[in-house]
Amino acid sequence: QVQLVQSGAEVKEPGASVKLSCRASGYTFAGYYIHWVRQAPGQGLEWLGWISPNTGGRNYAQKFQRRVAMTRDTSITTAYMELTRLTSDDTAVYYCARGLYDRSGNWWGFDYWGQGALVTVSS
Amino acid sequence: SYELTQPPALSVSPGQTASIPCSGDKSGEKYGCWYQQKPGQSPVLVIYQDTKRPSGIPERFSGSRSGNVATLTISGTQAMDEADYYCQSWDSSVGYVFGAGTKVTVL
């Protein structure tokens, strides 16, 4: 069965960086983009960007372009998301999700999600 | 920019129909999808490509679109359907966008 298993909760001080992992299993890792989405406490969902496990290509939401880096290690079917220069506004649950596309590359949705990782930014 | 607008909350009686609209602010809307999120859980895809239901999603969930308004309909709403529902779409200028979410309460 498809699974995305994320690393655990993190507590960081303002100005620090955090790197989260998302280990995929149950499907061909290279065949599906991995997206990262966050949710601040009591708030809605916010998309950060995606990475192609096949090519390493990536696309970030403009809001995060200067602070986010997405990478992957195909040997262990794991995607990573690093966010730098953290502030209290970055306190949120961070999810990885698998992108669902048709054969023409048209996007359909995010069909599997990780369990989420809470990042708390506090001094 | 590109925004999706949903009502913040909606109440429905058990067995009745709940309809959640999601309005985009651009013409020529792309396909969209819907997620259900229960407290403390990850989102679950319930509708994709406006009208399609993933495997395992009950038939009481359906989607439709008219112009720039997508609608999620829950027919015969059950207590277990109480959750937050988010619409999502894609725009070439900003990427993947979510609506702010609709809290569905089953009274």
Amino acid of residue B43: P
- Looking at every residue in chain B, the average pLDDT score rounds to 94
Per-residue confidence (pLDDT) for residue B29, from 0 to 100? 62
Do the chains contact at A95 and B43, CB–CB below 8 Å? yes
How close A33 gets to chain B, by Cα (Å)?
A: 13
Do the chains contact at B42 and A115, CB–CB below 8 Å? yes
Given pLDDT bands bounded at 50, 70 and 90, which one contains residue B28?
low
B12 and chain A: CB distance < 8 Å anywhere? Answer: no
Do the chains contact at A47 and B95, CB–CB below 8 Å? yes
| Position A106 pLDDT exceeds 90 | no
Query: Of B48, B86, B95, which is closest to A100 when you measure between CB atoms?
Result: B48
Chain A residue at shortest CA distance from B33: A109
Query: Using CA atoms, how far apart are residues A115 and B64, in angstroms rounded to an integer?
Result: 29
Per-residue confidence (pLDDT) for residue B106, from 0 to 100? 97
How close A20 gets to chain B, by Cα (Å)?
A: 16
Do the chains contact at A47 and B33, CB–CB below 8 Å? no
Query: Of A45, A106, A110, which is closest to B45 when you measure between CB atoms?
Result: A110
Query: Of A95, A108, A110, which is closest to B49 when you measure between CB atoms?
Result: A108
How close A111 gets to chain B, by Cα (Å)?
A: 6
Q: What is the mean pLDDT of residues B84-96?
A: 92
How close A79 gets to chain B, by Cα (Å)?
A: 18
| Position A35 pLDDT exceeds 80 | yes
- Looking at every residue in chain A, the average pLDDT score rounds to 96
Do the chains contact at B42 and A35, CB–CB below 8 Å? no
Given pLDDT bands bounded at 50, 70 and 90, which one contains residue A107?
confident
| Position B1 pLDDT exceeds 90 | no
Given pLDDT bands bounded at 50, 70 and 90, which one contains residue A51?
very high
B95 and chain A: CB distance < 8 Å anywhere? Answer: yes
Given pLDDT bands bounded at 50, 70 and 90, which one contains residue A85?
very high
| Position B91 pLDDT exceeds 90 | no
Instruction: Pick the more confident residue, B72 or B2.
Output: B72
Rounded to whole angstroms, what are the CA distances from A35 to A47, A72, A100, A104, B14?
8, 12, 10, 19, 35
